[in-house]
Amino acid sequence: MNLPNGHLLQNGKYRLTHIVGQGGFGITYKGVWFTEVKGPLGTIKTEVPICVKEYFFKDYCYRDPESYAVRVHSETGRVLFDKFKEKLIKEAKILSEVHHPHIVNVLEVFEENDTAYIAMEYISGNSLKYMMDKEGVLPEAKVLRYVHQIGEALQFVHEKNILHLDIKPSNILIDQNGKARLIDFGVSKRYDIEQQETSTTMLTLSKGFASIEQYDNEGTQSFSPCPDVYSLGATMYNLLTGKIPTESILRATRPLPSPRELNPAISAKTEAAIIKAMQIIPADRFQSVSEMLAELDFPQIEEEVVKNNISSPEYFEEDETTILFTTRLPQSKGAEDDETVLNNVDLPPVPKKKKRKVTLISLLIIIFASIGSAVALLVQRYKTAPPVAEVINTASGGNTEPVQDPVMPDIIEESDTPEVVEEKTKTENENEGKTNKEQQDTSTEPVDKPETVQQQPASVKPEVKPVVKDVEQPVTVRPERSKEEINAEYLSLINSGKDKMAAADFSGAKADFTKASEIKMTKELFDLIGDCKLKENENDLAERKAQYEEKMSFGKYIIVRKKSNGNYGAVDADAIEQIPCKYKNVGKADNGRAFERADGLFDIYNTEGVLINQGVPYY
């Protein structure tokens, strides 16, 4: 159960607006921080967007529906819950003192509702996992740019004897300016001056991205950058191939496919760095992040601002993080533990200029390999085929309907023998009109590599042959807006906001200024936001006061008569009703004021606005 929208924390200091993510250890909300800024206009109350992470160990706790306090199911669960909460608070307080351009800043750590909360800087953008789900395999130049930035952040925390221990695409955010930000230090560890661990908890890891030493409780007792080096390499592997790497604990029996086998467009130097970073034995890896970065060729224009044009999801499910309750190494559980493929297209799209060549080759194959009615069937299939002729997706349960762009990547289970692919012959009716749901009964083996199917007569199973020779450039990068276009949009929003302020449309002005702040924040914009908020508050107060006729002071309140109904009540300095305007008259009582009800009886309020006597016949 989540906290409701609008819930206040820290006595009204923070207000939660809505949930943006939930995982095994916590719930992340977007919210606002009510604070004050001092400037030329004096002290101005303002609202700063933030993220608030609530510690909520969902397998061991629940929320009291009345008090919203977090309760634990059992005493055993209490031990685990408290241990993780203590670690979370300790590490978050450490991170609140760590500030780096590529690390999301922690603003405050506090306890409330019998659990812990972390207030963090809000980043408007997307995770690399979300970007990969939308775009597919990312261009190598873009991946290297992000890795360089995250690598600098890791070097910074490593110098302070901190390990992150959970680096993966979902824990790297890309802001609106294309800058990478490292988040979620929830399972990080801090080491003392002798490089010994200062806090110990159960093992936590993300399968595919965790090094083998993270499966052993003694593997990370002493400080070493090697676990983070492995995870950074695994992250590069995932972003460039679309596949989650084989778990390090299983690689003795299931070797890790080389990156270029899955995506030949990856450069040899980048592949070599990934392979070395992901060596099973820590001593065989790079011994520091800086050593790893030195082996990579980064784009020349490193400081270029890249606008992030992918819209953010309103809600996302955080990646699963596995908890190990023992130091013994886990055994394989069979098919359900097979690695998961995030994208069903391992190779980048072929540029459009090659389409005619590929089309001619495909037609020749069809003409010479088909007979009778099979020719007509193949022509119909070709008309509905995806634009990339080399890649035929047989991993979606037999679905041969055309794929529209954009498309979310399917989840494909990789088999132990991906070299041989057999497809059951489909009937003519299935090819002419069956929906995806009707075709799910047609079984197919998953495809690990892009392949081209040569059609045989209906009685012969089709052969599958890989075609990779026509694939050229790695990935086409989408056109990006120029700095001039971005600045023009910024100035347009500023001028529009000023015009709306002049017309007393303060909500519209605030919306324009907020959009402008997502592009860049300047002193002028900061002052405009504060001025807009101040004038909006003054306008709202004047509108509320206009509803009443002030009669007399009553303690810290003012007795008023509401114009709309002619009844009496009392308001505070912000013109908010503290005693409802529902009374016919008001008189002075010995211990306060007597408000006459419609039934002729009286309610007595003291000077604090508290009802001390109700429904009395006289006063």
pLDDT digits (tens, 9 = 90+) for 33-53: 999 888 777 888 889 999 999
Sign (positive or negative) of CA dihedral 541, 547, 550, 556: negative
Q: Residue 498 corresponds to which tokens in the numbers above? A: 């000023």
Confidence check: pLDDT of 150 > 90:
yes
Confidence check: pLDDT of 437 > 60:
no
Q: Which residues neighbour 27 within 8 Å (Cβ) at sequence distance 6 or greater?
A: 2, 3, 19, 21, 53, 54, 56
What is the structure's pLDDT at 179?
94
Residue 237 CA neighbour count, 13 Å, CB half: 30
Confidence check: pLDDT of 76 > 80:
no
* Average confidence score pLDDT of the chain: 76
Sign (positive or negative) of CA dihedral 511, 512, 517, 522: negative
Confidence check: pLDDT of 331 > 80:
no
Taking alpha carbons only, the member of 311, 321, 275 closest to residue 295 is 275
275-289: average pLDDT: 95
What is the structure's pLDDT at 152?
96
Top pLDDT among 429 and 486 is at 486
What is the structure's pLDDT at 431?
44
What is the structure's pLDDT at 425?
38
Residue 414 CA neighbour count, 13 Å, CB half: 23
Check: CB of residue 4 under 8 Å from CB of residue 65. Answer: no
The CA distance from 402 to 231, in Å, is: 36
Residue 517 CA neighbour count, 13 Å, CB half: 20
Confidence check: pLDDT of 439 > 80:
no
What is the structure's pLDDT at 218?
74
Assigned fold of 1-122? Phosphorylase Kinase; domain 1 (3.30.200)
From 3.40.50.12780, 1.25.40.10, 3.40.1130.10, 1.10.510.10, which CATH number describes the 125-340 domain? 1.10.510.10
The CA distance from 291 to 285, in Å, is: 10
**Prediction pTM value:** 0.51
The CA distance from 452 to 517, in Å, is: 49
The CA distance from 199 to 87, in Å, is: 7
In angstroms, what CA-CA distances link 317 with 5, 129, 171, 341, 549?
18, 11, 12, 17, 52
**Burial call 253-266: b when 16+ CB within 10 Å, e when fewer:** eeebbebbebbebb
- Residue 139 has φ and ψ, to the nearest 5°, of -60, 145
Percentage, residues of the chain above pLDDT 70: 68
555-563: average pLDDT: 94
Confidence check: pLDDT of 419 > 80:
no
Taking alpha carbons only, the member of 178, 264, 282 closest to residue 226 is 282
Helix (H) or strand (E) holding 606: none
121-147: average pLDDT: 92
Confidence check: pLDDT of 119 > 80:
yes
pLDDT interval class at 467 (50, 70, 90): very low
The CA distance from 31 to 235, in Å, is: 30
Taking alpha carbons only, the member of 327, 332, 340, 289 closest to residue 213 is 327
Q: Radius of gyration over alpha carbons of the chain, in Å?
A: 31
What is the structure's pLDDT at 51?
93
In three-state secondary structure terms, 215 is: helix
Helix (H) or strand (E) holding 615: strand 611-616
Confidence check: pLDDT of 232 > 80:
yes
Confidence check: pLDDT of 295 > 90:
yes
Confidence check: pLDDT of 607 > 80:
yes
Show the CA angle centred on residue 303, arms to residues 301 and 307, nearest 5°: 100
pLDDT interval class at 140 (50, 70, 90): very high
What is the structure's pLDDT at 275?
97
125-340 and 1-122 share a CATH fold: no
The CA distance from 424 to 370, in Å, is: 17
Top pLDDT among 130 and 527 is at 130
Confidence check: pLDDT of 614 > 50:
yes
176-203: average pLDDT: 71
Q: How many other C-beta atoms lie within 10 A of the C-beta of residue 314? A: 9
What's 248's DSSP letter?
A: G
Taking alpha carbons only, the member of 347, 382, 380, 365 closest to residue 464 is 365
What's 188's DSSP letter?
A: -
What is the structure's pLDDT at 432?
45
pLDDT interval class at 351 (50, 70, 90): very low
Confidence check: pLDDT of 597 > 50:
yes
pLDDT interval class at 321 (50, 70, 90): low
Q: Which residues neighbour 368 within 8 Å (Cβ) at sequence distance 6 or greater?
A: none
Render 400-443 in DSSP notation, one character per residue: -SPPPSS-PPPPEEPPS-TT---BPPPPHHHHHH--HHHHTTS-
Q: Residue 587 corresponds to which tokens in the numbers above? A: 């008189």
What is the structure's pLDDT at 342?
35
The CA distance from 346 to 264, in Å, is: 10
pLDDT interval class at 442 (50, 70, 90): very low
Helix (H) or strand (E) holding 376: helix 373-383
Helix (H) or strand (E) holding 592: strand 592-596
What is the structure's pLDDT at 193?
56
Task: Choose from 5-19, 25-39, 122-136, 351-365 the range with maximum mean pLDDT.
Answer: 5-19
The CA distance from 431 to 433, in Å, is: 6
Beta strands in 302-421 (DSSP E): 316-317, 322-324, 340-341, 412-413
What is the structure's pLDDT at 333?
38
What is the residue extent of each domain of the chain?
A: 1-122, 125-340, 352-466, 483-542, 548-616
Top pLDDT among 393 and 189 is at 189
What is the structure's pLDDT at 457?
44
- Ranking 3-7, 92-96, 343-347 by mean pLDDT, the lowest is 343-347
Helix (H) or strand (E) holding 20: strand 14-22
What is the structure's pLDDT at 428?
42
What is the structure's pLDDT at 123?
87
In angstroms, what CA-CA distances link 252 with 108, 222, 456?
44, 25, 40
Taking alpha carbons only, the member of 340, 315, 341, 24 closest to residue 166 is 24
In angstroms, what CA-CA distances link 26 with 81, 92, 130, 313, 451?
12, 14, 19, 18, 42
- Ranking 114-128, 364-378, 398-412, 453-467 by mean pLDDT, the lowest is 398-412
242-253: average pLDDT: 91
